[in-house]
Amino acid sequence: MMIQKILVSFASVAGLVACATAERAAEPTPPTITLEEAREFQNGVLLDLAEYLPDGSVVGGFEAPIPKMHGMTCDWARGSLASPASGVFLPGGYDLKVSSDVDLDKVREEIRLAYVNQGWEALWEEPGEYQDLNLASPDGYEFFLGVRVVDSETSEFVMSSFSPCLKAPEGFTLFDEY
C-alpha cells in the first residue's frame, strides 16, 4: 500500500513537471508585423538614439540608419542552416563618428535611463574590450550601443539593432534585403 502511494505521488509530480516543461518549451507566437514595419521601427529608434548626441558633435559616419539588410533565420545563431519556417529577424545599424570631447559613456547612461523609464530593459555588457549597452524593448527588439576610439580626435558611436523573430513572408529568401 505504501509503495502504491509513493508511485501515485511520483506519477503526479512527474505529470506536473512534464506540463511545466511543455509550457516552457512552447515557442512564442511571432508578432504579426511585416519586415518593412520592423525595419521602420528599428530605424526610428536608431534615429532617436542618435538625437542624444550633443548638437554639432557628429563629424562623420553613416548619413542615416542602414535602409535594408538581409533577413536572417531565427535559429541562425544556433549554427544550423535553417529554413524560413523557423522565423526571420532583421539586423540593422547606424554608426556615427563623434568628436572625442563628447563623453559617450555619459550619453549612453542618459539613453539607458530614458529607455528604462519607457519600460525597456537596459543592461551593461560584461566589461571586456568594448562595453556595450544592451537595450531590449517590451516587443522583443534589441539594440546594442558601443563606443570605439577611432583616433585622438574621434570616437565611433556604434548602434546595432535586431528585430524580434517574425513570421517569414511569402517568397522570403536569405538573398533579399528588407
Q: How many CA atoms within 13 Å lie on the side-chain side of 143?
A: 31
Q: What is the pLDDT of residues 76-119, one digit of tens each?
A: 655 555 556 678 899 999 999 999 999 999 999 999 999 999 99
Select the CATH number that applies to the domain covering 35-162 from these four: 2.60.40, 3.30.310, 1.20.1260, 3.40.50.
Answer: 3.30.310
Rounded CA gap, 47 and 95, in Å? 11
Residues 41-65, mean pLDDT to the nearest whole number? 97
Contact between 99 and 59 under an 8 Å Cβ cutoff? The reply is: yes
Per the prediction, the chain carries an average pLDDT of 81
Three-point CA angle 172, 177, 178, nearest 5°: 80
Residue 10 pLDDT exceeds 50: no
DSSP conformational letter for 27: P
Q: What is the pLDDT of residues 115-145, one digit of tens each?
A: 999 999 999 887 665 589 999 999 999 999 9
Q: Output the pLDDT for position 82.
A: 53
Q: What DSSP assignment string belongs to 109-157?
A: HHHHHHHHTTT-EEEEPPSSSS--EEEE-TTS-EEEEEEEE-SSSEEEE
Cell of 80: 544550423
The more confident residue out of 22 and 147 is: 147
Rounded CA gap, 147 and 66, in Å? 18
